[in-house]
Every structure is written in C-alpha cells, then in structure tokens.
Structure 1
Amino acid sequence: MRKLALLTGINAVGNGIFATINIVFYTEHLGFSAGAVSTVLFAATFLAIGGDLVSGRISDASSPKPVFLAGLILSALAITALLAVGNRIGFVMALCLISLGQGLCMSSNTTLIRRLARENPALARASLRSVLTIALSVGALLAGIVLGEGSLGAFRLAILANAVTFVLAAVLLAGIRVPAAPTGSPGRPNPILPDHRFATFAVANGVIGIYLHALSFALPLWVLVHHPGLAWVVGVAIAANALLAAMLQVPASAGITSIGSARRRLVLGGSCLAASYLFFAGGWTTSAAALILALVALVILHTLGEVLYSAGAMELLFRLAPESRQGQYGAFYGISNGLLASLAPWVLAFALASTGGWGWWALAALTVALALVIRAVSLPRRPRLDSSA
C-alpha cells in the first residue's frame, strides 16, 4: 500500500497542475475557443467511459495491474503529444487519448485497491483519498506559479512535468505485486432503470456534479476576463479548496445515521453550492481587496457545499441501492455522473458568456431544485395499504 500511496501522490501533483492550467493553455496558447474545447472534452468523455467499462471487466476477470499500467503509459504519451499539437485534428486526438487513458485507470485503480487491501478496503481508500487531496492542492499551488508567469514555456514545462508523473507512477506500479482474482464470478447484471427512485437520484446528482468543475474550469476563465493581472489567485483558490475539503469531509459526514439526515445534509450542501455560483455573476471590478474577499467567500461556500453535498449523496448511494446489487447500482451511478458531468464545460462556458450573469443565477436555481428533487425521491417508502380493506 505504501507504493500505491506514493504512486497516487506523485501522479496527483501532476494532475493538480494540469487540471488548473489546461483550459488556459488550450484557449490562450493553442488558440481554441472555450466552446470548441468544451465540445472536444464532451466527446472525449465517451472514450473515458468506454475505457472504464473495459478496464473494469478485464480487471475483475484477471488482473488490474496491466490495465492500470496501460492507462498510465497512454496518458503520459497523450499529454506529451499536447506539446506538439499544431492543428485542430491533433488537438482532438490528444484529448481523446488522454480521456481513454484516464478511463483505463479508473476501474483498474479501484480493483487494485480492493485486491491490495482485502481486509479493510474502506480504510485504504480513505487513506489514499487524503494523499490524493493533499497532492492535488500542491499541484494547484504550483499551477498558480505557472499562471502568474504566463509564458508558453512555463505552460509547456508544467505539461511535461505532468507527463513525467505518469511515467513515475507506472514505474512504481510495475513493482507492486497484485494478489490473484477472488474465485467466483458476478452474476448477469439486471437493468437499473426500472428503479425510478434510484435512477432519478443518479441523474439529478450527475447534473449537480457540474460543481466539481467550477473552480478548475470557470474560475481561470473568469479571472482572465475580469482580472488578468491576478491569474495567480486561481492556484491559491483551488489549493485552499482542496485542503479545506480534506479537513472538513470527515466532520461533514459525522452524524449521518439515516436517510433523513443524509437528505438534510445534501440539500444544505446544494444550497451552499448554488450560493457560490453567484460569485461569477459579477465582475468584482471595484478593487483588488474586494476581489480577494469575494474569492475567500467563494472558496468557503464552495467547499462547504462540496463536503456537505457529497456526504449526503454518498450516504444515499448506499441506502437507496439494494445491498445485494450494490455493485451494479454503483456502476450505474458512476456512469450517470460521468456522462452528465461531461456537460459541465458547455454549461459553465455558457454561464460565463451570459449577459449580466443570468446564466449563473439559472444554474444556482437548477442546483437547488435538483437537490430538492433528490430529497423528494429519497423519502422512505411507505408500506402499501390493502385496497380491499
């Protein structure tokens, strides 16, 4: 597990850098519009989902190690290819290969954790998640330096550094011995959609999941438009969000002992997320001090919303799914989130371009409305009364 933790931390630093600077690199240095980038990212998401499905099947049937290794190597090569992009076709191919590499890493990574920590996989996942969060925040801080420097050379160096982290992760993975697959095979999956209660929850949750991209996608573009001289604050804001989330996630999850408490936590978190969107509705052009205070409020509201909402959503995921089909329901939940979250770049770019910030008001209202929909569909089912009585 130590090698896996080191692997996770090294790769997360690179991913933290890349996630913070990529949209600026695509638009400012490669010259593509935010709309074009959003379209490519949306299309590439389907490759990530396909890679995830293939990864999960192969990992369960044999070993997750070769699949995970293939994903890391493909990601390193695809990210490096961004440095040689000279036209739209090359750009599309690079982003598609990056998404495919990410997809191959998803389920194989999860299966690897389960194989290495059979006795207590939940504790192992929690420990790795802490390493991941801290490393991502370090990467975001380093990205702030790149954004502040602003030159093409700085961006290229940062992208190359991210590719190197995938190579290092692959080297560490090669030295990990993976236990054999457990005996027995899962039964034939049954469709989840007839369970309208869970399907509604998963779809609504996927749309609300747009919030996961607000700081990494919308904030850099917003700052470039309204305060181009303060680009460095993006890395600080994202790093602060990651560190606060790591500190607050456990307290935010404490005390959730029923569907009722999970619903309340989820609605409160959704309301905080909706309030955080209203930051983007204004330009905050009065002064640098006002901008800093507004950014502090944004990070606090967004982080509180993130930890409260995710705590409630994860509890509902386990409580609304039948225990005997938890894996199948979890897969439907993950695919729904992936497909709907792929709309995030389009939605956020549209909100940024909306006159007077009305797009952000609409997104805030939609977030609260969907949180209330989840609250309604997750009400405990009442026993049916006998109609003959």
Structure 2
Amino acid sequence: LNGGLAVGAALGGLALHAGTRSAYLSVFALDAVAFLGCALILGRLPAVAPAAGPAGGGPGLAVLRDRPYALLALLNALMLLRMPLLSLALPLWIVERTAAPGWTVSALFVLNTGVVTLFQVRAARSVTDLATAARAVRWSGAVMCAACAVFALSGAVSGALSGGLPGSLPGSSPEFGRGAGAGAVGAAVAVLVLGAVLQVLAEMRHSAGAWQIGFALAPADRIGQYQGFYGTGVPVARTLGPLLVTTLLIGWGMPGWLLLGGVFLVAGAATGPAVRWAEAAR
C-alpha cells in the first residue's frame, strides 16, 4: 500500500513540476491503466467459499456497552486525524501559507510512505503487550504535537524571510510565498521536512500501538464485532477530519496548529489510563 502511494506521489510531483496539461493527462491515463491491470489480476483469483464456524456469542451490539473499549476507539479516531492532515490540510497549508514550491507536497508524501514501507516493522518490534502499546501511543501523541508546532513554524519562517504576511496568521493571501527568494524557499522546505519526519515517526508508533490495543482487548468470540467498531476510526477521520483540520489550520493558522497538536497530545496521554480501565473491566 505505502509503496504504491509513494510511487503515485512521485509521479504526481513530476506532473506538478511540469505544470502542463499533457503532464496531468498522462498521469491520469497511467492511473487508469494501473487500475485496469489490477482488475485483470484480481479477476483471475479463484472464488473461495466462506468457512463454516460457530457464531460469536453475546448480543450483536455488545461492543457499544463496553465503555472502556468505546473510549479507546474514540481516542484512536482522534489520533487518526493525522490522515487528512497529510493528504489534505498540509498540502493546502504549503500552497497558501508558505514559500515552499508545490512539488514539496509530493516530496513529503513520498517521504512519509517510503519511511513507513521501510521501517514500520522495525518500529513495531518493541510493542509486545498492552503496556508497551500504551506507551507507544502516548509517545506518538507527544511527537505529533511537536510536528504540528513545526508545521506552524513553516508559515512564520516563510513570512519572516520573504517580507510578506506571516503565513501562520488567518487571512494570509493565497498568493503568499509566490516569488519568494531562495532563502525563504529553502527554509520553508527544511522546516516542512522536519515536521514530516516527526509525523511519520509518530504515525509508525501509533499504528503499532493501536493494532495491539485493538486486538488484545477484543473478546476471542467477538473479535470481528470489536475490530469492526475499533476500525471505524479510519472512516470517521477521513469523513469528518477534512472539515475539522482545514477549519483549524487554514482558517485559524498557527493557533489552529497548536490546538490540533494539543488534541494529539491529550489523546495519546489518555490512552494509557483507558487501557488500564479496559484491562480492569475484563
């Protein structure tokens, strides 16, 4: 998954750098061919009959009455706000509020997906039980808070070095950053790369901890029900997250970044007590 995202982001970056109609159409055409190829490959897979097995015990919505687990699912959804942050809010921030060139969006996406592809397994090795999982999520929340502060700084640095409006302030012009000098561009890119490194480190640790928590606390006879509920954090973050993060970051600027960082910090810190509550209730 992340390997494909990295390749796609790299190709998109080339199209953005070229900035021509033919480049954009070529990328879309290549994407269509890739989808067609995947469909042909998947269509050749044999159909498999579902395996017979005993039905899970307990009421169908038992997970909703498991308050500690429901709280952990909510905290996980808050931590997953990093998803629209990378794919939507940060690109808008880069284009509207910093002196960084447009191709920086693709470069940061390639950085993120490439690091996850190469190092996710290694980053998860230390997560072996609920205690280490809770520590991993707490660490992730703190690092995501730091990443948000660094991303906010990218707008202020761009404004200070280019002599324009500080990109961190609400109301900055969409034209901000265009025609900025090499110093402002280089500084903005460097700060954004630092923020992206912090974000991907936090992402890998959160993923490792969240998987351990979601599986370890699910009853053996209702794993599907519990995992389905815990996994709703992804669609919630992808559905409601874009509105939330764009309002905070593009509408509020630096205060929005700091508030979002605080959300990550609190959600990560609250995971440990919630895990202990869930363990005690088992």
The answer, yes or no, to whether TM exceeds 0.5 is yes
1:79-110 deviation per Cα after TM superposition (whole angstroms, max 9, x unaligned) = xxxxxxxxxxxxxxxxxxxxxxxxxxxxxxxx
Aligned mate of 1:144, from 2, 5, 13: 13
Summarize the alignment of residues 1-389 of structure 1 with structure 2, pairs less than 5 Å apart: 132-184=1-53, 186-187=55-56, 189-227=60-98, 230-282=101-153, 283=155, 284-285=157-158, 286=161, 287-379=184-276, 381-382=279-280
Deviation at 1:229, TM superposition (A): 6.5
Aligned-pair CA distance for 1:363: 0.6
CA contact (8 A) 2:100 2:189 kept: no
Structure 1: distance between partners of 2:53 and 2:90: 48
Which residue of 2 is the match for residue 58 of structure 1?
none
In structure 2, relative to structure 1, the CA distance for the partners of 1:351 and 1:183 (3 Å cut) is: same
Residue 242 of structure 1 aligns to which amino acid in structure 2? T
State the distance in 2 between where 1:217 and 1:255 align: 31
Residue 356 and residue 382 in structure 1: after superposition, are their counterparts in 2 closer, same or farther (change >3 A)?
closer
What's the TM-score once normalised by structure 2's chain length?
0.82
Give the direction of change, closer, same or farther, for the CA distance of 1:223–1:382 in structure 2 (3 Å limit): closer
8 Å Cα contact 2:84/2:237 also seen in 1? no
Q: Deviations over 1:100-150 (max 9, x none)?
A: xxxxxxxxxxxxxxxxxxxxxxxxxxxxxxxx2222111111111122223
- Classify 1:382/1:235 alpha carbon distance in 2 versus 1 (closer, same or farther; 3 Å): closer
Shift of the 356–213 alpha-carbon distance from structure 1 to 2, 3 Å rule, reads: closer
Is the Cα contact below 8 Å between 1:203 and 1:337 reproduced in 2? no
Given the two structures, how large is their TM-score scaled by the length of structure 1? 0.61
Mapped contact 1:140–1:239 kept (Cα < 8 A): yes
Q: Which moved more, 1:181-190 or 1:145-154?
A: 181-190
Residue 357 and residue 135 in structure 1: after superposition, are their counterparts in 2 closer, same or farther (change >3 A)?
Answer: same
Structure 1 residue 169: Cα displacement: 1.1
Do 2:100 and 2:186's aligned partners in 1 also have CA atoms closer than 8 Å?
no
Q: d(CA) in 1 for partners of 2:107 and 2:6?
A: 9
2:125 counterpart letter in structure 1:
A
Query: How much has 1:306 moved relative to structure 2?
Result: 0.3
Cα drift, residue 274 of structure 1: 1.7
**Post-superposition offset of 1:153:** 4.3
- Deviations, residues 45-101 of structure 1 (Å, cap 9, x unaligned): xxxxxxxxxxxxxxxxxxxxxxxxxxxxxxxxxxxxxxxxxxxxxxxxxxxxxxxxx
Greater displacement, 237-246 / 331-340: 331-340
| Cα distance, 1:292 vs structure 2 | 2.5
- Tell me how far apart the structure 1 counterparts of residues 259 and 74 of structure 2 sit (CA, whole Å): 18
Q: Give the 3 Å change call, closer, same or farther, for CA 382–196 of structure 1 in structure 2.
A: closer
Which residue type is aligned with residue 83 of structure 2? L
2:172 paired residue number: none
Identity rate, percent: 29
Offset, 1:307: 0.4
- The runs of 5 or more residues in structure 2 that have no matched partner are 162-183
SS in 2 for 1:354: helix
Question: How far, CA to CA, are the matches of 2:111 and 2:253 in structure 1?
Answer: 28
Q: CA deviation at 1:156?
A: 3.7
* Unaligned stretches of 5+ residues in structure 1: 1-131, 385-389
1:279–1:294 contact (8 Å) kept in structure 2: yes
